[in-house]
Amino acid sequence: MKWRGVWAAVLGALMFVVASPAARAEGGAGPEAMTMGNMCMVMFGYDMIHITSYLPGKSRSEYCEEIPATGKVIMVFDIENPHFRDLPIEIRIIRDPLTPVNVNSDLEPLTEVHFPAQQYKKGTFSFEHEYKNNGHYIGLVTLTKDNGEKETQMFKFSVGETLWQYVSYVLGAVLIGLVVLVYWKHSHPGRRPAAKQASA
């Protein structure tokens, strides 16, 4: 019974490790960025803008936080709130410097794509960009409200294979190795030294 419980715990851990890449691929980048299936979204209060990525010519799949290959990527933005379609929206994609950034930072050296603020009356817009290097990126969506106030929300994503994508597999291999080691030690107990005979 004891080992049955251990194996149940190990199986649960393995299922978590194997499922973690999919969970991470659909995971958000913080409270301001969430996901629904493979579609990311940025939140402005209770309203949202959906973001979906595609790899034209390579796959028909939809991507969110992890785009598996470099090359041409199409990003589609769907504006949920009809009122937002009358407000200027600015889009900027930057390479993630892996240090804190904000709208007051000098973003030009990091900028991969930039679309100045404009209205998107149709409620949806898209662009195609060729990502030449694997890496982590940050999308900045800036909404200019009726009173002129600007609000920026961000979402993070990766393009191509990155080291973080292999973490779950490494952890899984380590966990399996530990299970094998524990099982081997349990099934091959070391020889215990013979008890010394009491002297006459």
Residue 83 has pLDDT above 70, yes or no: yes
CATH superfamily of 40-163: Macroglobulin (MG2) domain (2.60.40.1930)
- The pTM assigned to this predicted structure is 0.65
List the beta bridge partners of residue 112. Answer: none
Q: Where are the alpha helices (DSSP H) in the chain?
A: 2-25, 167-187
List the beta bridge partners of residue 150. Answer: 144
Distance between alpha carbon 31 and the CA centroid of its chain, in Å?
Answer: 13
Of 98, 87, 22, 100, which is closest to residue 49 (Cα–Cα)?
87
Report the distance separating Cα 94 and Cα 137, nearest Å. Answer: 6
Burial of residue 153 (CB within 10 Å: 0-12, 13-18, 19+) is buried
Residue 35 has pLDDT above 70, yes or no: no
% pLDDT > 70, the chain: 62
Return the SS3 of 117: strand
Question: Do 81 and 120 form a contact (C-beta atoms < 8 A)?
Answer: no
